[in-house]
Amino acid sequence: MNNSREKLEEVLLDEQFLSWFYQSDPEKSRLWEERHTRGEVDPYLVEEAIELLQQLKLKETVPTSMQVAAAEARFWEQVENESKALTERTTILPWYRKPFSIAAAVLVLLVGAWLVKGYFQPELLDVKTGYGEISSVKLEDGSVVTLNGNTRLQYRHPGIFHSEREVWLKGEGFFEVQSTPEKKVFIVHLDELDIHVTGTQFNVLRRPYKTEVLLTEGSVILTSRLNKDTVRLLPGELASLENGKIHKKTGNTSQVIGWKERKFIFENTSLEEVARSVESLYGIDVRLEGDTTSGMTISAILPSDNLDIFIQSLEATQEFSVKRDGKVVVIGPAVR
């Protein structure tokens, strides 16, 4: 059984198969069709993989507000029609039975309305971290998400109609996803990207200036919402999203997840990127002074848990001058 699951997972993580299924890369699709024709893959596993992905696509469909309103309208119209029909064929009840009949009717209406709302508009739990704050959230399946400062995580509370493992993230978080016996997929939704995993560890950065995913353990599948571009990541690989296209390269793990130890780890990092990182983490305005400042780079390990200490540490490099006025920080070249 375990061997079968491993083989099914291999098919689900195969880039050529995914390109063929999502029609995202003609060349990879062609290579997959040739492998399938030559009998290199088990057709039963392929059928099972297709069925799982089709179910996944259906589960990810979220009704619009208009669809919800239309469903509620149809529900109340049906209730009204049933009420009229019931009135036409109902005999006169004794006075002492009327209150119970009314109460029962009201109860049916309330339960029906609750079911409609619960199905189409499931409750979302919302977790937010403040500027410079780090916090951990343990989900009901045992998965743990560590959130960096100025980050928002939303997830559904498991119920009868919604048993999917899926979350929505804005900001930065490190995921430690628990696998389940049935290999149930865990999905992280970003604005332009979906991340599909079973059991693994990875870091997700979704800021206005950058979208990145670094895998530290296991395997994940990334799918661009813009053009269905699909990429599989292996441990140590870093993927970035640019104009809907996913690019991957070897990542620097210690640099990317240094924030978990409350550190900024810069290695030949442009001062422009440093400024954007500090802005997102602390909710301030960082301005670069001088024509050449934005092109300057820095290699240093600086504290990220206190803005004042960060500024002092940046000045201590003797490469920059830093001035702070409330929520505005101005960085320029050091005065020689």
Per-residue model confidence (pLDDT) at position 175: 97
pLDDT: which is higher, 232 or 124: 232
The yes-or-no verdict on residue 11 having pLDDT over 60 is yes
**The model's pTM:** 0.67
Range ranked top by mean pLDDT from 81-95, 171-185, 257-271: 257-271
Measured CA to CA, the distance from residue 186 to residue 166 in angstroms comes to 6
Handedness of CA 64, 69, 71, 72 (dihedral sign): positive
| Number of residues written out for the chain | 336
Measured CA to CA, the distance from residue 312 to residue 321 in angstroms comes to 10
The yes-or-no verdict on residue 65 having pLDDT over 80 is no
- Confidence band of 54 (pLDDT split at 50, 70, 90): confident
Residue pLDDT, tens place only, 89-100: 545 555 555 554
Enclosing H/E stretch for 330: strand 328-333
- Confidence band of 113 (pLDDT split at 50, 70, 90): very low
The yes-or-no verdict on residue 1 having pLDDT over 50 is no
Enclosing H/E stretch for 270: strand 263-270
The yes-or-no verdict on residue 310 having pLDDT over 70 is yes
Measured CA to CA, the distance from residue 276 to residue 260 in angstroms comes to 18
Tell me the pairing of strands 285-288 and 328-333.
parallel
Residue pLDDT, tens place only, 146-188: 999 999 999 987 655 556 789 999 999 999 999 887 778 899 9
pLDDT: which is higher, 93 or 324: 324
Per-residue model confidence (pLDDT) at position 96: 52
Per-residue model confidence (pLDDT) at position 116: 47
Residue pLDDT, tens place only, 231-244: 999 999 999 999 88
The yes-or-no verdict on residue 222 having pLDDT over 70 is yes
Rounded mean pLDDT of 95-117?
50
Q: Hunting for tokens 């039963």 — which residue is that?
A: 44
Rounded mean pLDDT of 215-221?
93
* Integer-rounded Cα radius of gyration of the chain: 27
Across the strands, what pairs with 194? 189, 223
Residue pLDDT, tens place only, 131-146: 999 999 999 889 999 9
- Among residues 218, 148, 282, 154, the alpha carbon closest in space to that of 6 is found at 218
Handedness of CA 123, 192, 10, 19 (dihedral sign): positive
Per-residue model confidence (pLDDT) at position 290: 82
Least confident segment among 28-32, 67-71, 272-276: 67-71
Least confident segment among 86-95, 233-242, 244-253, 272-281: 86-95
Per-residue model confidence (pLDDT) at position 285: 95
> In 48-185, at which residue ranges do the beta strands (DSSP E only) sit?
124-128, 135-138, 144-147, 152-156, 165-177
pLDDT: which is higher, 24 or 209: 209
Mean pLDDT of the chain: 81
The yes-or-no verdict on residue 202 having pLDDT over 90 is yes
The yes-or-no verdict on residue 247 having pLDDT over 90 is yes
